[in-house]
């Protein structure tokens, strides 16, 4: 039988498969997340995220140099402060854990971009992403339910904290709380203090996902009551994700971030087709844990499963991927 159209002609050898490959991965695609912990000389492994650890600031210099050597252009920072309080003061203090971490990384590896995850859940004693409506707080609003996350009061603090992080040397601020107006408020605060050159990578579409579970152990930031469904997007909603993306573009976001990654491939594709900004996707803690758990059981193989996930995220339209696999993947790609 003569078939004119034989796609398998282009799959015959590794060389021809390489030639027609549409998507590739490289270390420059990755952003590596770091958990920075108070204390000294500590590298505390995170049980549900094999290979990942909380690090104290004195260990960051070596870590930053290693990441840089692997060709990874950026890190994103999460802080575990010594003290938490109702408004997350550590996050907007010049000597808070993250400003100190930013200075340590910049001193050791000046070319490594530092992205600061801008949220309050790691710094508040109640574990929510901003100020909670309680009668004790000066911005208490009796018309809103007790326990509600106060939007506009939190925006003021997000602006202040962003300026503090920018002053410490952060290149990019990445607001991750899904508050209304967060990008506009942070842009205005940065510009007013002379940080017009500091970029904003907005977590534009962040689902209220159970896949953040291991992260909340890692960052010691689970909500003390309730959940995050009043601010993060319902994972069932695709149009709403697009609306959030449009709003962040209007407010001046320089880059967009979509999260989680593998469960949101349609949303990544929509965003890629509807806008012209650089697009990042976050392969979150649960995605990482899932692959490692299956590998430990012998049910899936690493690195194959990790690399296939990463390439799928890129194929869907992400220009860059925040991933706990960033360092290993860079090594795997080097030796491939
Ligand atoms: C902070 C934040 C979270 C993640 C990134 N930034 C946790 C959350 O929203 O509960 C999750 C990242 C991951 O799971 O790897 N708001």
In the chain, where the domains are located: 24-335
CA 276 to chain centre: 20
**3-state DSSP call for residue 300?**
coil
Backbone angles phi, psi at 322, to 5 degrees: -80, 120
Q: Please identify, in words, the CATH class of the domain defined by 24-335.
A: alpha beta
The single-letter DSSP state of residue 89 is G
Share of the chain above pLDDT 70, in %: 100
- Contact call for residues 252 and 183 (beta carbons, < 8 A): yes
The most distant pair of C-alpha atoms in the chain lies apart, rounded to whole Å, by: 81
Q: Which of 281, 321, 262, 240 is nearest to 248 (CA)?
A: 240
Whose Cα sits closest to atom 5 in ligand 1?
176
31, 48, 257, 274 from 278: Cα distances, Å: 14, 31, 9, 12
Average pLDDT value over all residues in the chain: 97
pLDDT digits (tens, 9 = 90+) for 296-322: 999 999 999 999 999 999 999 999 999
Tally helices (H) and strands (E) across the chain: 11, 12
pLDDT confidence tier of residue 279, bands split at 50, 70 and 90: very high
Q: Is 153 within 8 Å of 130 (Cβ atoms)?
A: yes
What pLDDT is recorded for position 2?
86
Distance CA 97, CA 76 (A): 14
State which ligand 1 atom lies nearest to the alpha carbon of 222: 10
Closest ligand 1 atom, residue 284 Cα: 15
pLDDT at 323 over 90: yes
Chain-centre distance of CA 210, in angstroms? 15
Given a cut of 90, is residue 184 above it in pLDDT? yes
Q: Could you tell me if 201 and 172 are in contact, meaning their C-beta atoms sit under 8 angstroms apart?
A: yes
Using a 6 Å cutoff on CB, does residue 288 contact ligand 1? no
Q: How many angstroms separate the CA atoms of 290 and 286, rounded?
A: 6
93-128 tens-digit pLDDT: 999 999 999 999 999 999 999 999 999 999 999 999
pTM, full prediction: 0.97
Q: What is the mean pLDDT of residues 199-210?
A: 97
Q: Is residue 336 over pLDDT 90?
A: no
Are 155 and 181 within 8 A, CB to CB?
yes
User: Is it true that the peptide bond before 182 is cis, omega within 30 degrees of 0?
Assistant: no
Q: Is 126 helix (H, G, I), strand (E, B) or coil?
A: coil
pLDDT at 1 over 90: no
Cα separation, 58 vs 64, whole angstroms: 11
Q: Is the CB of 54 under 6 A from ligand 1?
A: no
153-164 pLDDT tens trace: 999 999 999 999
Q: How confident is the model at residue 335 (pLDDT cuts 50, 70, 90)?
A: confident
Pairing of strands 149-150, 131-132: antiparallel
- For helices 304-316 and 265-274, what crossing angle results, to 10°? 30
CA–centroid distance, residue 215 to ligand 1 (Å): 6
User: Residue 174: which pLDDT band, with cuts at 50, 70 and 90?
Assistant: very high
Question: 16-45 pLDDT, tens per residue?
Answer: 999 999 999 999 999 999 999 999 999 999
Return the closest-CA partner of residue 236 out of 197, 211, 212, 263.
263
Residue 231 CB–ligand 1 contact under 6 Å: no
- What's the pLDDT tens digit per position in 259-275? 999 999 999 999 999 99
SS3 259: strand
CB of 215 closer than 6 angstroms to any ligand 1 atom? yes
**What was the pLDDT predicted at 242?**
98
Question: Given a cut of 90, is residue 79 above it in pLDDT?
Answer: yes
Lowest-confidence pick of 177-191, 213-227, 245-259, 310-324: 213-227
Q: In the prediction, which pLDDT does 265 show?
A: 98
* Closest protein CA for atom 11 of ligand 1: 212
Q: What is the pLDDT of residues 46-61, one digit of tens each?
A: 999 999 999 999 999 9
Residue with the nearest Cα to atom 8 of ligand 1? 212
Could you tell which of 50, 174, 219, 280 is best to mutate to test the pocket of ligand 1, judged by most ligand atoms within 8 Å of the CB? Answer: 219
> Which residue has the CA at smallest separation from atom 14 of ligand 1?
212
């Amino acid at each position: 039988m003569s078939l004119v159209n034989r796609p398998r002609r282009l799959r015959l050898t590794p060389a021809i498969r390489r030639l027609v490959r549409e998507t590739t991965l490289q270390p420059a695609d990755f952003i590596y997340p770091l958990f920075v912990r108070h204390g000294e000389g500590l590298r505390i492994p995170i049980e549900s995220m094999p290979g990942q650890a909380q690090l104290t600031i004195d260990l960051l210099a070596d870590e930053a140099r290693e990441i840089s050597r692997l060709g990874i252009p950026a890190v994103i920072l999460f802080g575990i402060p010594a003290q938490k309080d109702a408004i997350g003061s550590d996050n907007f203090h010049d000597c808070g854990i993250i400003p100190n971490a930013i200075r340590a990384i910049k001193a050791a590896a000046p070319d490594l971009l530092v992205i600061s995850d801008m949220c309050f859940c790691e710094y508040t004693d109640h574990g929510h992403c901003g100020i909670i409506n309680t009668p004790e707080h000066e911005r208490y609003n009796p018309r809103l339910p007790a326990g509600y996350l106060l939007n506009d009061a939190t925006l003021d603090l997000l602006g202040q904290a962003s300026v503090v992080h920018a002053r410490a040397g952060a290149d990019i601020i990445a607001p991750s709380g899904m508050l209304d107006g967060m990008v506009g408020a942070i842009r205005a605060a940065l510009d007013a203090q002379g940080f017009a050159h500091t970029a904003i990578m907005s977590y534009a579409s962040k689902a209220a996902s159970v896949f953040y579970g291991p992260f909340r152990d890692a960052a010691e930031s689970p909500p003390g009551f309730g959940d995050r469904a009043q601010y993060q997007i319902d994972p069932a909603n695709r149009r709403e994700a697009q609306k959030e993306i449009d709003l962040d573009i209007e407010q001046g976001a320089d880059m967009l971030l979509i999260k989680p990654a593998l469960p949101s491939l349609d949303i990544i594709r929509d965003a890629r087709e509807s806008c012209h900004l650089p697009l990042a996707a976050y392969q979150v803690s649960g995605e990482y844990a899932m692959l490692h758990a299956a590998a430990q059981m012998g049910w899936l193989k690493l690195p194959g499963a990790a690399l296939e996930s990463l390439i799928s995220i890129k194929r869907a339209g992400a220009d860059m991927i925040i991933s706990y696999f960033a360092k290993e993947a860079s090594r795997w790609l080097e030796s491939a």
